[in-house]
């Protein structure tokens, strides 16, 4: 009997036991069966999301890392803390500015737009 638990856990000599899996995604690792994906938009561009994903997660999944610019210098920002504490992830969602993308669940048809400055420029007038 081998020290790795017998035949089921058998592996080649020198093989890393932590990497002994065929799962490729977090959903596969936990055996999840997500509900069907849906569509939303970022600056008019269609992107996909899964039920339960936050808007930040959906944007990240689409390769979008920034969706806001700072008030003073116009520097790009996206998610930083991921837990609702830093406010770096503010976005305009369905016309409402200053929504924390890391906390807000994505919904079918949501329209996320890049937020510039305090997000109220489009509301003034």
Where does this chain bind ligand FES (CB under 6 A)? 79-82, 84-89, 100, 102
Closest distance of CB 104 from ligand FES, Å: 9
When the beta carbons of 10 and 85 are compared against ligand FES, the nearer one is 85
Query: Strand, coil or helix: what is 30?
Result: helix
When the beta carbons of 20 and 70 are compared against ligand FES, the nearer one is 70
When the beta carbons of 50 and 86 are compared against ligand FES, the nearer one is 86
Within the chain, strands assigned E span: 38-42, 45-49, 68-69, 76-77, 90-93, 96-100, 111-113, 115-116
Contacts of 70 (CB under 8 A, 6+ apart): 77, 117
Closest distance of CB 49 from ligand FES, Å: 17
Tokens 């997660």, residue?
57
Closest distance of CB 76 from ligand FES, Å: 14
């Amino acid at each position: 009997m081998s020290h790795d638990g017998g035949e089921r856990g058998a592996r080649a000599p020198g093989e890393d036991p932590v990497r002994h899996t065929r799962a490729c995604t977090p959903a596969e690792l936990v055996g999840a069966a997500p509900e069907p994906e849906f569509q939303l938009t970022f600056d008019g561009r269609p992107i996909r999301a899964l039920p339960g994903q936050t808007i930040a997660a959906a944007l990240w999944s689409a390769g979008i890392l920034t969706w806001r610019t700072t008030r003073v210098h116009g520097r790009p920002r996206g998610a930083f803390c991921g837990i609702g504490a830093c406010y770096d992830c503010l976005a305009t969602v369905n016309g409402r500015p200053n929504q924390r993308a890391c906390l807000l669940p994505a919904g079918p048809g949501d329209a996320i737009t890049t937020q510039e400055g305090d997000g109220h420029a489009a509301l003034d007038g």
